[in-house]
Amino acid sequence: MTSPNAVVFGLSGTDLTADERAFLRDADPLGFILFARNLGGAAQIRRLTAELRDVVGRADAPVLIDQEGGRVMRLRPPDWPFAPAARDVAVLYARAPEQGIAAAEDVGRMFGVMMTDLGIDVVCAPVLDLGLPETTDAIGTRAYAADPETVATLGGAMARGLMREGCLPVIKHLPGHGRGAVDSHKELPRVVADLATLRGQDFAAFRPLRHLPLGMSAHVVYSAIDPDSPGTVSAPVIETLVRGDIGFDGFLFTDDISMQALQGSLAERAGAAIAAGCDAVLHCSGVLSEMVEVAGAVTGLSQSADTRWTRARAARHKPEGADIDALAAALVAQFQDGT
């Protein structure tokens, strides 16, 4: 059986256009990623996720979403439940460690219940980047804390909650975006810290969670190992740092290749990311002409990527079926009511 192609596409709106449908049928992407522009009510989202899988003829084609809590939630109040930012969970953890861990896991469980009901099975969270004085506001409160132990503990709890309810988490942004002082959506961050510092701090947030099945790369230059290329398109970063130092052998998505931190055409970016060791590229704009270009630059999953993807799918659990209303009420009480 032929592997799907090594790309995940965004879409233009709440319904597939005829042109999108024809393109996706031919392009056979691994999966899809949804943004606010794709999301109406629950019934519409269920129809869309079902149609996406039907178009590619794979009932297990992954549907991804960014749903971290705080300001990065594609499904957000008032139509969907409140969830705290990672930084707020860490503040609770500093005051009451057991409550903080439970809250992080509850966020994951609540999102897992929501997504499973909607046909979404991959959540691009937790963020394991360190929150440092120089960290760009694009990360900001999305980062739990400055110390790797807190980050790994709370990120691990959120990931555990997602997996308990049938969703796969994506740890990001490997091997660490926290020292990036600029927003990689707009320009290229450069990290000048030496490898000893990175290994002792930044990578230490990821290493305890290296067993998780999915990860996302960082569009960041790490001058200590490759002063010329962002991590996403750098074989030394992917192979030496992500696969080697951190020990992550899960399936590695790129961050969105449309972001301005990367140079070259979209086709060149996609090809470079796969050549560097990423398993699949994310293209998120939903612009069909761009999607056609990217599709022409990728092929089926490599043998190693296919093995990793098979392993990731096998890591999905049957949902436990948590009470989403109870979880949502508890999080509001802890983080909005000040109790």
| Residues tagged active-site | 185, 255
CA atoms within 13 Å, Cβ hemisphere of 202: 26
Other beta carbons less than 10 A from residue 280's beta carbon: 26
Q: Would you state the structure tokens that stand for residue 45, as one six-digit string? A: 């989202």
Other beta carbons less than 10 A from residue 299's beta carbon: 11
To the nearest 10°, the Cα dihedral for 303, 304, 305, 311?
Answer: 110
Is residue 132 within 8 Å of 146, Cβ to Cβ? Answer: yes
| Amino acid occupying residue 189 | P
**Which residue, 189, 162, 194, is CA-closest to 173?**
189
Which SS3 state, helix, strand or coil, does residue 250 take? coil
Other beta carbons less than 10 A from residue 171's beta carbon: 29
| Amino acid occupying residue 219 | H
